[in-house]
Amino acid sequence: MNETVFIGLGSNLGNSANTLTQALNALSTLALTPVVASSFYLSRPLGPADQNDYLNAVARITTDQPPLTLLDHLQAIENQYGRERKGERWGPRTLDLDILLYGDKAIDLPRLKVPHYHMMQRNFVLLPLYEIAPDLHFPDGQSLSDALQQLSLDGIKKLT
Ligand code: ROI
């Protein structure tokens, strides 16, 4: 069954613009229709402040891959870009790909929680999401525009 899936992209190590562009290309191999991508946003790091600003974006794909298969593919793409999974929590990363929303499903598995935990508090997720899906509602019925209005837009800048 085809599902609309939103994926968050983030990078703050290496050439982040290149990495996000290549990751978006890689996502097209998993998608049944053209990938729709937001602009890139420069955002202050959430977590330890002694790391670079992040480049963030959100992509929408249509896929028939089940959630955990899709997650495996996303982790393979992360690894291809040299993502190292060190112990450090909330440390810098070359590429982070997160399944934000998978159709209107709520998924609660050890490896995968959807909607992505904490996304409602993250302007670097909700703002690019709003750019490509302004009418979106979350599985619990809340509208994206309401959620976005709860957030400060400090520390985030859309790049042109
Ligand atoms: N901070 C920002 N601004 N953007 C991210 O993508 C991001 N990702 C993370 C943590 C370390 C929580 N901070 C972030 O995983």
Position 45 pLDDT exceeds 70: yes
pLDDT tens per residue across span 48-99 = 889 999 999 999 999 999 999 999 999 999 999 877 666 677 777 899 999 9
Taking each helix axis from N to C end, the angle separating 67-80 and 16-28, rounded to the nearest 10 degrees, works out to 140
The answer to which of 38-42, 54-58, 82-86, 128-132 has the lowest mean pLDDT is: 82-86
The CA distance from 20 to 139, in Å, is 27
The domain total for the chain is 1
Per-residue model confidence (pLDDT) at position 93: 84
Structural domain boundaries, residue 81: 3-158
Assess whether 93 carries a catalytic annotation. yes
Instruction: Tell the residue nearest (CA) to atom 13 of ligand 1.
Output: 46
Position 1 pLDDT exceeds 90: no
User: % helix / strand / coil in the chain, to the nearest 5?
Assistant: 30, 25, 45
- 1 CA → ligand 1 middle, Å: 32
pLDDT tens per residue across span 139-156 = 999 999 999 999 999 999
Instruction: Tell the residue nearest (CA) to atom 9 of ligand 1.
Output: 90
Average pLDDT rounded to a whole number, residues 112-127: 96
Closest ligand 1 atom to 8 CA: 6
Per-residue model confidence (pLDDT) at position 72: 97
The answer to which of 3-12, 21-30, 89-98, 137-146 has the lowest mean pLDDT is: 89-98
| Cβ 70 vs Cβ 98: under 8 Å | no
**pLDDT averaged over the chain?**
94
Position 115 pLDDT exceeds 90: yes
User: What CATH number does the domain containing 151 carry?
Assistant: 3.30.70.560
- Give the pTM: 0.95
Assess whether 98 carries a catalytic annotation. yes
